[in-house]
Amino acid sequence: MPGIGDILAYTIAAELGDISRFAGPKKLCGYTGLCPRVYQSGDKDYRGPLSKKGPVYLRWALIEAAVHASRHPRYHDHYQATKKRLGKQRGSKVARVELARTLSEAIWHMLTKHQAFRPAGPTVALVA
């Protein structure tokens, strides 16, 4: 997987434990603490800062993996577009967290289906 070497892979595996604890990729993403806090009352819905609940080292490993994965061709364009759209002050940080959430979802799919990393995207059509 792009951005994840031996050390980060061992750290992520140790912090996750048994992947069957998580019903879906969104549950894993919520466990990492990389999702924003949600305050709801009646028909109002407020989004706050990152919840930062869950294992600190898991969150660190995913953010570190996102830094390296942002250079991979699969994620580079989306990362740069998000970074540019949000501006200099916080664009790179928000783009990094978004990429870390994407990586956590990919990790869930890889571990539950016992498959190697295959990024989703358009397939190359062969023309005769």
* Per-domain boundaries in the chain: 6-113
Which pTM does this prediction carry? Answer: 0.83
Vertex 61: Cα angle to 25 and 1 (nearest 5): 65
Tell me the C-alpha distance between 31 and 13, whole Å: 14
Q: Of all residues in the chain, what percent carry a pLDDT higher than 90?
A: 52
Q: What is the pLDDT of residue 127?
A: 60
Q: Of all residues in the chain, what percent carry a pLDDT higher than 70?
A: 92
Tell me the C-alpha distance between 12 and 86, whole Å: 29
* Residue partners of 55: CB distance under 8 A and separation at least 6: 15, 32, 33
Going by pLDDT thresholds of 50, 70 and 90, the confidence category of residue 109 is very high
